Amino acid sequence: MTQAVLRTTRLELVPLSLEHRAFTMMLDTDAQVMKYIGYGKPLDHQQAIEVHKWLLQAATLVPGFGCWVGFAGGDFVGWWVLAPCQSDGTPQQFSNDRAEFGYRLLPKFWRQGYAKEGSRELLKYAFQDLGLSEVFGETMAVNVASRAVMAACGLKHAYTFHNKYDNPPPGIEEGEVRYRITKGEWTSLVPVQFQQLVGRQAHTSTVEDTEAPVTVNAAPYDKEAGVGSTQNNTTTSDDDTSLPSETAQRGVKDMEAVTLSWSRAALASVLIIIWIYVLANGFKYSILASLTPYATSSFQSHSLLTVIDIVASAMTSAVYIPMAKMLDVWGRAEGFLVMLGFATLGLILMAASNNLPTFCAAQVFQSVGFGGMTYSVDVLAADVTNLRNRGLAFAFTSSPWMITAFAGSKAAEGFLEHVNWRWGFGCFAIIIPVVSFPLYVVLKVNLLPGVVLFAAGLTVFLLPFTLARSAPEGWKSDYIIAMIVVGFCLLVFFVIYQVYLAPVPFMKHTYLLNRTVLGACLLDFVYQMSYYCWNSYFTSFLQVVNNLSVAEAGYVNSTFQVVSGVLLFIVGYLIRRTGYFRWLLIVGVPLYIFAQGLMIHFRKPNGYIGYIVMCEIFISIGGSVFILCMQLAVLAAVDHQHVAAAMAVLFVSGSIGGAVGNAISGAIWTNTFEKALVRYLPESSLSNLTNIYASLPVQLSYEVNSPERIGIQKAYGYAQTRMLAAGTGLMVLSFVAVFMIRNMNLRNMTQTKGVVF
């Protein structure tokens, strides 16, 4: 077999060719690199050429053997080699089941874990792909750093030997050492690593954890083709990309245990299961979005849609912080299962509810459950991908939304016409557990005071913005003022509790104050706030003002799912190719503001729906960029130990933004829509004002182009333009957020371990 291209988290190892000669000569003529090689000094030009020829020849002696040139993000790092060794008893022949390994690295890449990373990939190739029985390496006995790298790769000291040299290099009097590892020993490393991961074995850093290079007899002047220096010793188990993090919490350890021991097929199966879950969740979202106005209308409470959203958003926001700790401490699987229980209970209660309070409570359970499940899935997607590919992975797991955008809306219309809205909710109490439980199965083969403060504070603070209109004395009502003051105080106490009183804060303060984390969270907050300033009544607007059916309104409202389903792949690919993501935000923010501003102009009664769809497409492009880049920003700013916490902070910010946006939307709606109805409805219809204001079916019962329908349409237009104006104005804050985010190169960063995408 020919040499294969090898890849690790950070390295791409390419078979050596003639065009790489300048790279190998760069190493051979470097004094630091050659300190423990040959005669302890750099080679001259001709000698360096001879070494390159020898390395090329190594690939011709035994199939699959040879030298690989390593690159990290396009930069030359060094080379690694599997060199043939002579067969025992037959000096003229080379063994096809034993090899000598080695490497050389440029000094600027020392102490960064590249030597171990490349060597371990080479050992994996030797034993797993070539089926070798043994691999060994040699170095000078005084080269402590090189010996430590071999030990860290699993090789054990076999013996010390002494050779005679005409011009012996310094330190050769101590002799040379051979380290070796057999296929059986290499195979046995996986369960040992797994035990270390879940904390069943203690690990103590020793000199064997240090980083330095080593390799083989590459030419007549090369006693050893490796590099290294005792000055390069650095005790760093964190650089060990093949071993789990001992300091990580249980949930992180368990997840790293899975990725270190599973196969590519297992990784693919997890991503497919996530895709199926997102497909079912997308159907649920699309159908419930279309049916909820009809459910609330059956309780004569259509205008209180935003009250439900505010309570649900506030409670969902509160769940992300304990959810992050739950995922880290209990485990990914356990946290996901708990949220599945909440979601299923919520769906059952929604289907069985007979009044608005019950429906609102059910919506809280459903929203908390699905918010937690989606958050868990996003954390899991971060666990099983590296930063460079994470955009593409998120794009893949989000692609089902393209399907559900159309199918879900049509299904909602079918429930209304042939069954009822209750079964539209109830069927997912069966479907969701069935498609979600396999993910739990795959993953399975002290925050309570803070939660109460946060959930109560956010809910109590935001509700008055919607309820004030119906209060006896409006904003002057005692309980409205009290709710705002009490809610604000509870939120302040929550911050004080997290900083000074919590036994274990959910996230390090250094990360919470990181400008990139803050910028991404501010962007998510502003984006969600701006979006929900107008979106809650959008499907009702499309049916009443643009005369669309339930399914057609659902199609338009699902434009984002369709566009983002395609665009996320493009955005993920662009990030993978360039390594950067902030430039996409610089493009996306102005486009989003422009499109939302255009929506103000096109929100006219009986207007051409094509213009609204066009604006929705532009909004979807900007939103797709936001969703992906915000997540990448917070994930790139923290280590793997704090991935869940960082995602929690981002999700909390977005959910709070959505709750604030719904509060603004509700405040504008309740203070403008009814007054506009009084102004635009014919006098003969004012006696039915209460029913028109409270029920979507009543609004739709009036014939298109009738005076009553036109008056209702004008009232919708009056309220919606003001909602959009508020949202567009608030989006200007996103420019500040974008420039708070550092322009990081994801190509040069690694975060996860094991078999990941």
Task: Determine the Cα–Cα distance for residues 483 and 496; give it in Å rounded to an integer.
Answer: 20
Query: Per-residue pLDDT averaged across 91-104, rounded?
Result: 83
Query: Per-residue pLDDT averaged across 344-371, rounded?
Result: 83
| Class of the domain covering 6-189 | alpha beta
pLDDT band (50, 70, 90) for residue 443: low
Element (H, E) at 369: helix 356-383
Contacts of 332 (CB under 8 A, 6+ apart): 251, 254, 255, 376, 379, 380, 383, 443
Kindly tell me if the per-residue pLDDT of 181 is higher than 90. yes
Element (H, E) at 103: strand 90-105
What does each C-alpha distance from 421 to 358, 364, 412 come to in angstroms? 16, 18, 8
370 against 472, higher pLDDT: 370
Give pLDDT, residue 202: 32
Kindly tell me if the per-residue pLDDT of 472 is higher than 50. yes
Closest CA to 292 of 535, 529, 540: 540
The model's pLDDT over 522-560, given as tens digits with 9 standing for 90+, comes to: 999 999 899 988 887 888 888 898 888 888 888 888 888
Contacts of 625 (CB under 8 A, 6+ apart): 567, 571, 584, 585, 587, 588
In 3-state terms the chain splits into helix, strand, coil percentages (rounded to 5) of 70, 10, 25
Query: Per-residue pLDDT averaged across 28-36, rounded?
Result: 86
Kindly tell me if the per-residue pLDDT of 30 is higher than 50. yes
pLDDT band (50, 70, 90) for residue 751: low
pLDDT band (50, 70, 90) for residue 76: very high
Give pLDDT, residue 654: 83
Least confident of 126-140, 497-511, 541-555: 497-511
292-309 burial: b if 16+ Cβ within 10 Å, else e: bbbbbbbbebbbbbbbbb
Q: Which of 225-229, 395-399, 567-571 has the highest mean pLDDT?
A: 567-571
Token look-up 């959810």 returns 323
334 against 274, higher pLDDT: 274
Query: Per-residue pLDDT averaged across 476-493, rounded?
Result: 79
Provide, rounded to the nearest whole percent, the portion of the chain with pLDDT above 70. 75
**Domain 250-466+507-740 in CATH: superfamily?**
MFS general substrate transporter like domains (1.20.1250.20)
Kindly tell me if the per-residue pLDDT of 746 is higher than 50. yes
Query: Per-residue pLDDT averaged across 4-25, rounded?
Result: 91
67 against 238, higher pLDDT: 67
Give pLDDT, residue 211: 38
Query: Per-residue pLDDT averaged across 591-595, rounded?
Result: 91
- What φ, ψ does residue 546 adopt, rounded to 5°? -100, 5
Kindly tell me if the per-residue pLDDT of 60 is higher than 50. yes
CB 145 within 8 A of CB 212: yes
Sheet holding 66-72, edge to edge: 6-7, 12-15, 66-72, 75-87, 90-105, 134-140, 176-182, 156-161
- What φ, ψ does residue 75 adopt, rounded to 5°? -95, 135
Token look-up 């369960």 returns 191
Least confident of 9-23, 438-452, 554-568, 660-674: 438-452
Give pLDDT, residue 277: 84
Task: Determine the Cα–Cα distance for residues 305 and 317; give it in Å rounded to an integer.
Answer: 18
**Residue 331: left if φ>0, alpha if ψ -120 to 50, beta else—which one?**
left
Give pLDDT, residue 105: 92
Residue 471 DSSP SS3: coil
Report helix angle 305-329 to 448-462, nearest 10.
Answer: 160
Least confident of 155-164, 439-448, 543-552: 439-448
Task: Determine the Cα–Cα distance for residues 376 and 383; give it in Å rounded to an integer.
Answer: 10
**On the CB side of 714, how many CA atoms lie within 13 Å of its CA?**
15
pLDDT band (50, 70, 90) for residue 494: confident
Query: Per-residue pLDDT averaged across 633-655, rounded?
Result: 76
Token look-up 């993090």 returns 245
pLDDT band (50, 70, 90) for residue 479: confident
Give pLDDT, residue 594: 92
Least confident of 123-127, 148-152, 654-658: 654-658
493 against 740, higher pLDDT: 740
Query: Per-residue pLDDT averaged across 656-667, rounded?
Result: 83
Kindly tell me if the per-residue pLDDT of 103 is higher than 80. yes
Q: Which of 222-226, 256-260, 725-729 has the highest mean pLDDT?
A: 725-729
Least confident of 27-31, 54-58, 375-379, 691-695: 375-379
Kindly tell me if the per-residue pLDDT of 209 is higher than 70. no
Give pLDDT, residue 589: 92
Kindly tell me if the per-residue pLDDT of 214 is higher than 50. no
The model's pLDDT over 371-383, given as tens digits with 9 standing for 90+, comes to: 778 777 776 776 6
Task: Determine the Cα–Cα distance for residues 117 and 282; give it in Å rounded to an integer.
Answer: 40
Q: Which of 313-317, 394-398, 482-486, 546-550 has the highest mean pLDDT?
A: 546-550
The domain ranges of the chain are 6-189, 250-466+507-740, 477-506
Kindly tell me if the per-residue pLDDT of 156 is higher than 80. yes
Kindly tell me if the per-residue pLDDT of 469 is higher than 90. no
Q: Which of 162-166, 224-228, 673-677 has the highest mean pLDDT?
A: 673-677
Query: Per-residue pLDDT averaged across 413-436, rounded?
Result: 85
Kindly tell me if the per-residue pLDDT of 89 is higher than 80. no
Q: Which of 322-331, 394-403, 436-445, 588-597 has the highest mean pLDDT?
A: 588-597
pLDDT band (50, 70, 90) for residue 13: very high
Kindly tell me if the per-residue pLDDT of 257 is higher than 50. no
Query: Per-residue pLDDT averaged across 572-597, rounded?
Result: 89
Kindly tell me if the per-residue pLDDT of 435 is higher than 70. yes
Give pLDDT, residue 321: 62
Give pLDDT, residue 88: 61
Give pLDDT, residue 265: 66
pLDDT band (50, 70, 90) for residue 72: very high
- What φ, ψ does residue 172 adopt, rounded to 5°? -70, -20
For the chain, what is the mean pLDDT?
77
Three-state SS for 588-644 is: HHHHHHHHHHHHHHHCCCCCCHHHHHHHHHHHHHHHHHHHHHHHHHHHHCCCHHHHH
Q: Is the pTM of this model over 0.85?
A: no
Contacts of 518 (CB under 8 A, 6+ apart): 512, 740
Contacts of 321 (CB under 8 A, 6+ apart): 447, 450, 451, 454, 506, 648, 652
Give pLDDT, residue 403: 80
End-to-end CA distance of the chain: 26
What does each C-alpha distance from 22 to 27, 73, 216, 448, 461 come to in angstroms? 9, 19, 20, 61, 66
Query: Per-residue pLDDT averaged across 457-484, rounded?
Result: 71
Kindly tell me if the per-residue pLDDT of 220 is higher than 60. no
Give pLDDT, residue 201: 33
Least confident of 223-232, 305-314, 499-508: 223-232
pLDDT band (50, 70, 90) for residue 92: low
Give pLDDT, residue 228: 34
